[in-house]
Structure 1
Amino acid sequence: MSEQADSLVVELAQGTYDYKSLPPPDNSNKLHEQGMICAACHLRGYEMFGPPRKDGTTADSNDTTLPHGAWESTDAFEDSRFCSTCHQFGANGYALNGKLLENTYEEWKASDYPEKGVSCQSCHMPDRRHLWRGIHDVEMTRS
C-alpha cells in the first residue's frame, strides 16, 4: 500500500509492472489486519489514486470540495491487470496439489471475457460500486 516502493499505477501506465506483488518489508502499520479497506487499492506512496470520472474528466488536485479531496486519475482502475496484484500468485506462489491457490487473473485471461471486453471490474464492481461480488454473493453465483 502506501509503503510499497513502486507505484502500481505508474508501472501499469508505463507497461513495466511485472504482476508479482511483494508484501511491504514490514507490517508495522497493521493495515493488513483491517481487511479490504480503501487504501488497498487507492493509496500508493502516500498519494490517492482513482479511476477517471465517468464523464472522462479528471479531478483538480486543488479541489477541496471533493468528498475525499482530490486524487490522481488513472485508467489502471478499469484494467483487469490491476486486480492481479492480489488475485494472482506468481508461478512459485502458494499451491495445493500443484494448483495455485490464487490463479484468478490467469483464469480470467484464459476465458472468453477479455475478447468480449469484460473486465474483472465489470462483474465484481458493476457501475463502479464497491460490492466485490464473488462466490459469497448468491446473485453473482447464480448468474
Structure 2
Amino acid sequence: LARAGADLNAENPDGLAAILLAARLNGNSEVAVALARAGANVNAQNSKGMSALMFVAMKNPNPDIINALVDAGADVNLKNSRGSTALMFVSMSNPNPAAIESLVNAGADVNARDTEGMSALMMAKRENPHPDVIRALISAGASDSGD
C-alpha cells in the first residue's frame, strides 16, 4: 500500500489511524510494525491518547515487537489521557519481564506516575500475577514510594 501511495496516517471515521487499528486488533502486531517501518506515524494516538506501543505493551508479550516499534521511533514515555505509559500497561498485564526490560532499555521512566499517582510498580503489584515482572521493575530502579 505504501508503495502505491496510500496515506499511512489516514484515519477511519472513528479517528483511528491504521497503525492504531493494527496494534489494537492484530494478535501478533506485525502489521503495526510493518506500517511503522513504511512511514506511518508511530506515535499517533487515539482520542484517549493510546498509541500503538501502548496497545502492543498491553496485549503482546513479545519484546521483539516492542523493540521494533521503538526502533521505528515510538516514544516510550508518551502518556495517554490518564497519564499512563507503555511501561504501565506492560506492568499491569504482560507476563514477560523481557518486555519491561525492552522499554527500560529504551529509556522508559520507571517511576512515572499516572493522573491517580500510580507508578508501574504499583500497578504490577495490584494487577500482574507474575512476580518476575515485579522483580524486573525493581531491578530497573522502580519504586512505589513518593520518590
Structure with the larger helix share: 2
Give the TM-score, by structure 1 length.
0.28
Q: TM-score, normalised by structure 2?
A: 0.28
Structure (1 or 2) with the greater strand fraction:
1
**Structure with bigger gyration radius:** 1
